[in-house]
């Protein structure tokens, strides 16, 4: 009678346990070996998940696999760019496939793309397919046979994976910034993120510079972000947002906003706002506004407003209003209006009395 392969015996054992117990689970010291054995028993390479697994569970009825790592981490595979694992990774496990993956991303040319599924359609081909949403990436299965070390940051993973400091050395930060470019969401974790001709650069922790992007959206809670020579930008929740030479800009709920030399600007819910040399500027809900040399200005429900050398303006429901050398300004519902060499048209009886001032009293922002 021939000998039974130890590996075949292990596969049969794991499958029997899965069928008889209904749910396979493990934790503590034996979880790392167990989860990798379960992957192999289902026709997948065991190294798809890294070392450092704290616990896991597999529902035999639904195939739902839940894996808990000791911490979020990065892993470097031989010949493959970095992979990022959340603390919780999950997916639907079947023979030769892990679908509906959550908690795993792979780096592609400085862009982090979420992995949606993993498939081994032909075990004899030695190829494994990764579904990254936009396309399917074919990689050698042998790369993923052994579980890699998982490091708390990508710089350490580069060193651990290569055995030496990587040539492509970049400064790492713990903050995570999500951007949407052309309708596709990306996670920016390195100091430089490039897409087509555009660049997002983390200058220092909490400070980001965006150059030459088309159609970019950033929800920047607590960040200082500067945009230069971009088209169609949307920024929300930044500490300080600066925009220079962009075509269309929409900025929402930022503490401090500076926009210069842009075509069309729309600001809602800002703190201190400076708009200079813009073609069309619209502001709703700012605290203190200083607007200089714009062609058309529309302001509604703001605090103190000062406009200087603008062609046409429409100011509604503001606090104190300063007008300096503007051609035509329509005003409704503002208090304490001071005018220096400008024309103010009061709409109805909802303006305070106008006073002429002899010099510019606008405060810089």
* Residue 166 lies inside a defined structural domain of this protein: no
Q: Specify the CATH number for the domain of residue 109.
A: 2.30.240.10
pLDDT at 25: 60
Structural domain includes residue 159: no
Q: Kindly state whether residue 115 falls inside one of the protein's structural domains.
A: yes
Look-up: residue for tokens 């900025």?
A: 251
Residues 140 and 212 in one domain: no
Q: Do residues 195 and 342 share a domain?
A: yes
Q: Please give the tally of structural domains in the chain.
A: 2
Q: pTM, whole model, 2 decimals?
A: 0.53
Residues 104 and 178 in one domain: no
Q: Is residue 5 part of a domain?
A: no
pLDDT in tens, 193-220: 888 888 888 877 678 899 999 999 998 7
Candidates 186, 180, 223; CA nearest to 204 is 223
**Distance (Å, rounded) from C-alpha 17 to C-alpha 310?**
77
pLDDT of residue 38: 93
Sign of CA dihedral 170, 166, 49, 83: positive
Taking only the tens place, the pLDDT of each residue in 304-314 is: 999 999 999 99
Same domain membership, residue 279 and residue 181: yes
The pLDDT value recorded for residue 11 is: 43
CA 223 to chain centre: 12
* Owning domain of residue 63: 35-144
Q: Are residues 134 and 177 in the same domain?
A: no
Contact, 251 vs 267, CB < 8 A?
A: yes
Let me know whether 120 and 225 are in one domain.
no
Return the sign of the alpha-carbon dihedral for residues 77, 79, 80, 81.
Answer: positive
- Residue in the structure block whose two tokens are 């200079």: 276
| Residue 206 and residue 337 share a domain | yes
Please indicate, yes or no, whether residues 206 and 255 belong to a single structural domain of this protein: yes
pLDDT in tens, the chain (365 residues): 455 454 444 444 444 444 444 555 655 445 445 899 999 999 999 999 998 899 999 998 899 999 999 888 888 887 556 788 888 999 999 999 999 999 888 766 445 677 889 999 888 888 898 887 656 778 888 888 889 888 775 544 544 444 333 323 333 443 567 788 888 887 776 678 888 888 888 877 678 899 999 999 998 777 889 999 999 999 988 889 999 999 999 999 888 999 999 999 999 987 899 999 999 999 998 888 999 999 999 999 888 999 999 999 999 988 899 999 999 999 998 888 899 888 888 887 656 566 666 555 676 65
Distance between CA 64 and CA 38 in Å, rounded?
A: 13
Rounded CA gap, 238 and 219, in Å? 7
Q: What is the pLDDT of residue 136?
A: 74
Per-residue model confidence (pLDDT) at position 343: 84
- Is residue 189 domain-shared with residue 331, that is, in the same domain? yes
Asked if residue 360 is part of any domain, the answer here is: no
Does residue 233 sit in the same domain as residue 313? yes
Torsion of CA 256, 258, 264, 269, to 10 degrees: 10
Closest of 217, 294, 190, 111 to residue 225, by C-alpha: 217
43 within some domain:
yes
Looking at the fold, whether 123 and 244 belong to one and the same domain comes out as no
Assess if residue 315 is contained within a domain: yes
Residue 14 domain-assigned? no
Among 317, 255, 246, 301, which Cα is nearest to 279's? 246
User: Distance between CA 309 and CA 294 in Å, rounded?
Assistant: 7
138 and 192 co-located in one domain: no
pLDDT (0 to 100) of residue 48: 92
CB 190 within 8 A of CB 168: no
């Amino acid at each position: 009678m021939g000998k039974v392969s130890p590996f075949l015996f292990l596969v049969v054992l794991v499958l029997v346990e899965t069928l008889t117990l209904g749910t396979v689970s493990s934790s503590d010291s034996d979880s790392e070996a167990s989860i990798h054995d379960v992957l192999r028993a289902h026709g997948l390479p065991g190294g798809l998940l890294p070392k450092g697994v704290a616990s896991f569970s597999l529902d035999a009825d639904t195939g739902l696999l839940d894996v808990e790592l000791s911490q979020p981490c990065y892993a470097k595979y031989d010949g493959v760019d970095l992979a990022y694992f959340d603390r919780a990774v999950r997916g639907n496990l079947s023979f030769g496939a892990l679908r509906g993956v959550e908690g795993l991303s792979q780096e592609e040319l400085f862009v982090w793309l979420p992995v949606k599924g993993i498939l081994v359609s032909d075990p004899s081909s030695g190829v494994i397919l990764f579904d990254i949403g936009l396309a399917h990436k074919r990689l050698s299965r042998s790369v993923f046979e052994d579980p890699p070390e998982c490091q708390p940051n990508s710089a350490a993973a580069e060193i651990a994976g290569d055995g030496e400091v990587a040539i492509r050395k970049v400064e790492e930060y713990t903050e995570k910034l999500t951007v949407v470019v052309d309708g596709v969401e990306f996670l920016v974790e390195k100091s430089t993120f490039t897409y087509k001709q555009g660049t997002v650069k983390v200058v220092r922790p909490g400070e980001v510079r965006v150059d030459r992007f088309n159609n970019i959206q950033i929800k920047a809670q607590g960040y200082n972000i500067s945009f230069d020579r971009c088209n169609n930008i949307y920024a929300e929740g930044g500490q300080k947002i600066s925009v220079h030479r962009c075509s269309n800009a929409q900025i929402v709920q930022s503490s401090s906003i500076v926009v210069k030399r842009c075509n069309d600007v729309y600001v809602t819910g800002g703190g201190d706002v400076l708009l200079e040399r813009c073609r069309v500027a619209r502001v709703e809900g700012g605290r203190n506004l200083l607007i200089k040399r714009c062609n058309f200005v529309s302001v509604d429900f703001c605090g103190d407003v000062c406009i200087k050398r603008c062609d046409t303006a429409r100011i509604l429901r503001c606090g104190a209003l300063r007008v300096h050398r503007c051609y035509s300004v329509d005003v409704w519902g503002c208090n304490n209006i001071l005018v220096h060499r400008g024309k103010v048209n009061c709409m109805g009886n909802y303006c305070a009395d106008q006073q002429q001032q002899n010099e510019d009293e606008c405060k810089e922002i």
